[in-house]
Amino acid sequence: MRPLTRIGFVISLLALSSAPHAQQPPSAVTLPGLEQALDQITVTAPAPSPTQAVPPQAPIVTPPTGEQVAAPTPAPASSPAPRAQQTALSIEQVADKITAAESALTARLRAFHPLVEVYLQNLAPDDKLGVPIHDEYFLGQFDWKDGPKLTPLSINKGSFQGQSLIKKPFGMQYLPDGFAAMTVPDWRLLDRQRYDFTFVRREFLGEARCFVFDLKPKGDEADGFTGRIWVEDRDYNIVRFNGISRNVDHTLSSFFRKKISFHVDSWRVNALTGLWLPAYIYCEETDASENKQALPRLPQMKTQVRLWGYDLKGTRAQQEFTSIQIDEPSVQDGADPARQLSPVASQRRWEQEAEDNVIDRLTRAGILAPAGPVDGVLETVLNNLLVTNNVSLEAPIKCRVLLTSPLESFTVGHTIVMSRGLIDVLPDEASLAMILGHELSHAILGHQLIDTKFAFADRLMIPDQDLLRVLRFKHSAAEEQAANTKVLALLATSPYKDKLSDAGLFLRAVLASAKQLPNLIQTHLGDYVVDGGQSLGPLMQQAPALAPENLEQIPALPLGARLVVDPWSNRLELLRGPAVPLTSAREKVPMAVTPLMPYIRYAVVPPRVTSR
């Protein structure tokens, strides 16, 4: 019974984030296999991953404290030493180098087509805890057409939705483009003719030694960027900028129909040698007009903009090759009657092909992360459920991660897909087991897991913009209820059976926010949780009532709490920071947008031919 007692320690707030990539045992697993899996989950030290290149982005929990250059921050042995700077440069010379690097990046960005995700939360005015009460979502692809534009990829609710076009003729067209514009401080030119550069100090951002400058437009302040830039001192690329861009502001104010100023904190990561790409933008707004008493207030609107998928063209070529190789053997097998598949086996193969087609297509579109270590962590938890329930399935279940923020999970054949946002906010392993268990139940109960029309290749020869509309996999209400009943049985005999009150608490949190945050809480999860008033009721009854002021009770984590996306390769990494004790209820912010400060590193991968 040792595994069962050990798992009790596993289920702590950040246990998942310290879980190393577990080897998935083969489908028929015996108890020793389970024990091994659980032991791996319990490990608290980050697992060394010698085979992996140093990722260009790694998380930190606390903001950089702004060490001076003199502070010792040794560069890792693997990164090339910074160039010795023998000759002193004047501020003007440094400013000119910044201008040159920024012009080069701006020109290069026009050729890239990363995915851009905008998620906006409105907070209740005068709310002391910063609870979001309304949200907006937009997923698009960056396209340069006489300016930064976003081609929509998502089916949107709320103000970004098509029907609001009539009500908000300006907003619909310009709002997403306004956010696309935030990726650089000034799309025209950041030079000494237009701006005053004031040197502030030198400071480390992660591993990058930076110059910090304050920038102000020389002429009209309503035209250009006002704020601070951090510039790394090897190639003079902007790593971070923080301030306000008045041009962007005009666009966004017209959408919200009031004068507001979007303050922006924008971060870039070093994807390849010399190439720093916009990856994460946080912006917030306090409605200044109402703040007459100058009391400290929480922002009323918080937005995160994430960019990824810069290297999609490379992925595309690779994927096409893989599918050619899969198809070939079956073509040849057909000639040999002894080796011809039986109708049942053919049907299974058919479904498998549909699944592979969908997974490949989603990966090529940059919506699904490539297979990686995070999948292994999910599969370990899934395996715990399978083994303790003595379930053996005809095909092993795999897991993959959707790169988007909205909380959702679904099955594509024998692949369970969970969104990055959902993994981020789950408070613990028991809640993760509940989500995976629900999808697993659909498989165990023999519900149809894939629409086999996708076995026909032409079905997926559609533009990326139509993918998310076509690839929605729904179950009937009866099947959802059956899955919820089944998951209760699975959990009751699982290693998570004593920790189910946490899962119930998560359900309560989702239920409490489902109406306010319809863009974050997606239909499948939303539907079965809301319906869960009946079928998942037992889980919720085990949980205490939500207590927003109670620092001990963590029903859900903020967005971005667990997974870090490499914006170049789309690879995911678990955030391995220590749990930070909360000091006030304001810091709980379940399912909320927060500032995110990536850990800045120099790329160590050798330069190679980029997508352009």
CA end-to-end span of the chain: 57
CB of 479 to Zn ion, least distance (A): 7
CB of 427 to Zn ion, least distance (A): 21
d(CA 60, CA 125) in angstroms, rounded, equals 30
Closer CB to Zn ion, 285 or 355, in the complex = 355
| Contacts for 32 with CB less than 8 Å, ≥ 6 apart | none
- The count of other CB atoms within 10 Å of the CB of residue 126 is 9
Site for Zn ion in 337-366 (CB under 5 A): none
Site for Zn ion in 429-488 (CB under 5 A): 480, 483
Where would I find the beta strands (DSSP E) of 312-471? Answer: 398-402, 409-412, 415-419
CB of 524 to Zn ion, least distance (A): 6
Q: Residue 163 gets which letter from DSSP? A: T
CB of 384 to Zn ion, least distance (A): 20
d(CA 500, CA 471) in angstroms, rounded, equals 32
CB of 156 to Zn ion, least distance (A): 23
| Contacts for 353 with CB less than 8 Å, ≥ 6 apart | 326, 455
What is the size of the binding site for Zn ion (CB under 5 A)? 2
d(CA 294, CA 256) in angstroms, rounded, equals 23
Coil/strand/helix, residue 291: coil
CB of 399 to Zn ion, least distance (A): 15
Binding mask 146-165 for Zn ion (x = CB under 5 A): --------------------
Closer CB to Zn ion, 203 or 480, in the complex = 480
Q: What are phi and psi of 303, to 5 degrees?
A: -135, 140
- The count of other CB atoms within 10 Å of the CB of residue 398 is 20
Residue 207's closest CA among 91, 72, 86, 45? Answer: 72
CB of 539 to Zn ion, least distance (A): 15
| Contacts for 582 with CB less than 8 Å, ≥ 6 apart | 551, 588
Closer CB to Zn ion, 16 or 483, in the complex = 483
- The count of other CB atoms within 10 Å of the CB of residue 89 is 14
Determine contact, residues 567/57, Cβ cutoff 8 Å: yes
Closer CB to Zn ion, 39 or 527, in the complex = 527
CB of 408 to Zn ion, least distance (A): 11
Site for Zn ion in 520-579 (CB under 5 A): none
Closer CB to Zn ion, 205 or 443, in the complex = 443
CB of 530 to Zn ion, least distance (A): 12
Closer CB to Zn ion, 288 or 477, in the complex = 477
Coil/strand/helix, residue 212: strand
Site for Zn ion in 481-500 (CB under 5 A): 483
CB of 466 to Zn ion, least distance (A): 24
Coil/strand/helix, residue 304: strand
d(CA 302, CA 123) in angstroms, rounded, equals 8
> Could you write out the three-class secondary structure of 238-272?
EEEEEEEEHHHHHHHHHHHCCCCCCEEEEEEEEEE
> Could you write out the three-class secondary structure of 58-83?
EECCCCCCCCCCCCCCCCCCCCCCCC
Closer CB to Zn ion, 351 or 480, in the complex = 480
For residue 27, list its beta bridge partners.
none
Closer CB to Zn ion, 451 or 573, in the complex = 451
Closer CB to Zn ion, 58 or 529, in the complex = 529
CB of 472 to Zn ion, least distance (A): 12
CB of 385 to Zn ion, least distance (A): 15
CB of 493 to Zn ion, least distance (A): 20
Binding mask 38-77 for Zn ion (x = CB under 5 A): ----------------------------------------
Closer CB to Zn ion, 480 or 566, in the complex = 480
Tokens of 588: 């709980």
- The count of other CB atoms within 10 Å of the CB of residue 359 is 20
d(CA 458, CA 453) in angstroms, rounded, equals 9
Closer CB to Zn ion, 268 or 398, in the complex = 398
Closer CB to Zn ion, 252 or 507, in the complex = 507
Tokens of 20: 């190393």
Determine contact, residues 362/319, Cβ cutoff 8 Å: no
Closer CB to Zn ion, 480 or 502, in the complex = 480
For residue 198, list its beta bridge partners.
214
d(CA 166, CA 163) in angstroms, rounded, equals 6
Site for Zn ion in 101-130 (CB under 5 A): none
Question: Which residues lie near Zn ion (CB under 5 A)?
Answer: 480, 483
